[in-house]
């Protein structure tokens, strides 16, 4: 039996390192575009490029998913485990289907574009209009195990 405050699962959906490399290349290209206007203009463009690209990549990888003994935390949402049904692990094609043509507009969805697999969890609370949670994560099996343990 797990205690209500004990952390069972924790994952931060950070952007892949290749995205940070692309952000760096974007910043360098901004500097090269403005280099004919002088080194000061190139330095300003480099600084602006680093800020813009860094903010974008950072925003893409800022969602955190945690499971304690009695609660699922997804970003700012707090969902008691008693309101959730059994989790379903979705591999690439099935996850894509639930992201697109099988999707319900009322569902709570976390879908960073860089993660192909996901977990789908039914919401069994009759007072909640949300039919399910769709969570694109790196290890849906571990999340399903953690939700089953809670």
pLDDT tens by residue, 38-97? 999 999 999 999 999 999 988 877 788 999 888 999 988 899 999 999 899 999 899 999
What is the spatial distance between Cα 22 and Cα 91, in angstroms, rounded to a whole number?
27
| Average pLDDT for 101-121 | 90
pTM of the model: 0.77
Question: If pLDDT is split at 50, 70 and 90, which confidence band does 113 have?
Answer: confident
Of 130, 126, 137, 117, the closest CA to residue 67 belongs to 137
User: What is the phi/psi pair of residue 49, to 5°?
Assistant: -60, -40
Q: Quickly list H helices, the chain.
A: 17-34, 39-60, 92-99, 140-149
- pLDDT over 90 at 111, yes or no: no
Q: Name beta bridge partners: 67.
A: 9, 72
85 φ, ψ to 5°?
-90, -160
CB 93 within 8 A of CB 149: no
Mean pLDDT of the chain, nearest integer = 89
CB neighbour list of residue 93: distance below 8 Å, 6 or more residues apart: none
Three-class SS of residue 124?
A: coil
Coil/strand/helix, residue 103 = coil
Strand 84-90 and strand 7-13: pairing? unpaired
Lowest mean pLDDT among 4-18, 20-34, 119-133: 4-18
């Amino acid at each position: 039996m797990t205690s209500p405050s004990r952390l069972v699962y924790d994952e931060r959906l950070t952007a892949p390192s290749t995205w940070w490399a692309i952000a760096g290349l974007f910043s360098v290209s901004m500097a090269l575009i403005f280099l004919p206007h002088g080194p000061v203009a190139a330095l300003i463009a480099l600084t602006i490029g680093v800020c813009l690209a860094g903010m974008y990549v950072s925003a893409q990888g800022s969602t955190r998913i945690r499971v304690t003994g009695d609660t699922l935390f997804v970003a700012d949402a707090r969902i008691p485990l008693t309101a959730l049904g059994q989790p379903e692990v979705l591999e690439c094609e099935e996850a894509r289907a639930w992201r697109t043509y099988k999707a319900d507009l009322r569902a709570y969805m976390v879908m960073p574009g860089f993660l192909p697999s996901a977990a789908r969890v039914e919401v069994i609370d009759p007072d909640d209009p949300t039919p399910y949670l769709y969570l694109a994560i790196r290890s849906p099996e571990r999340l399903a195990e953690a939700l089953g343990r809670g």
